[in-house]
Copies of this chain bind each other. A is one copy, B any other.
């Protein structure tokens, strides 16, 4: 049962809500075929994702001014294309491929689960993805967010505490009135240190069927659910 003080559920998105890896790999595979290349799409997708955290680190550390995730993704993409020896793409082609991150498919339980959770809670994104990315993804996939918050409006990337605290502040809620929902223990641990309640929804297929599973955090969560439908049932939605 959910503590009755909770007013908003704040969601990690990449991995928790959407299957970024299969979706990005699909886009890379299409691109690779169209160009007559022989790129291993899943390897490319993982490499793209791997460049994401170090790219944000410069922003987190104040070594460079704010830059949103679309622009960071594009920088990483240019590096990867160069590494793969792909050249001669137009700016429009690069932009379109970069927008693969706007076209991510949700896990199968997500749309129905969010629809039920929305009856009782404010549903907010608390992702490092920028606003346009989140809006376009939601529009395509039918994700019924009440509000798009997180890194771009907080001007801080997770796991910086400001990302969580400013999200709660935008909602005019105390952190204790917010519950972070994520598939990643590290995200939940920082949220908990900020005062948020936590719901752990593991997504064992995030890194593919053969990936090692994420190490469990030692922290106890306020809720653990197999998917969003289970979470909705636990919360009486």
Q: How many copies does the complex hold?
A: 2
Chain A 181-196, CB within 8 Å of chain B: the 1/0 string?
0000000000000000
Partner of A131 from B70, B132, B147 at Cβ < 8 Å: B147
A130 partner residues in chain B, CB cutoff 8 A = 170, 172
- Chain A, 67-90, contact with B by CB distance < 8 Å: what is the 0/1 string? 000100000000000000000000
A139 at the interface (CB under 8 A from B): yes
Question: Size of chain A's interface in residues, with CB distance under 8 A?
Answer: 20
- In angstroms, Cα B135 to Cα A70, docked, is 25
The residue in A132, A171, A173 that gathers the most chain B C-beta atoms within 10 A of its C-beta is: A132
Within 8 A of B (CB), among A109-138: 122, 130-132, 134-135, 138
Which one, B139, B147, B172, contacts A148 given CB within 8 A?
B147
Is A237 interfacial (CB-CB < 8 Å)? no
Q: Is A153 an interface residue (CB 8 A)?
A: yes
A146 part of interface (Cβ distance < 8 Å): yes
Q: Is the CB of A132 within 8 A of B170?
A: yes
Is A172 within 8 A of B138, CB to CB?
no
Give the CA-CA distance A160 to B152 in the complex, in Å.
21
Contacts of A148 in B (CB 8 A): 147-148
A71 → chain B closest CB, angstroms? 10
**A residues in contact (CB < 8 Å) with B:** 70, 122, 130-132, 134-135, 138-139, 145-149, 152-153, 170-173
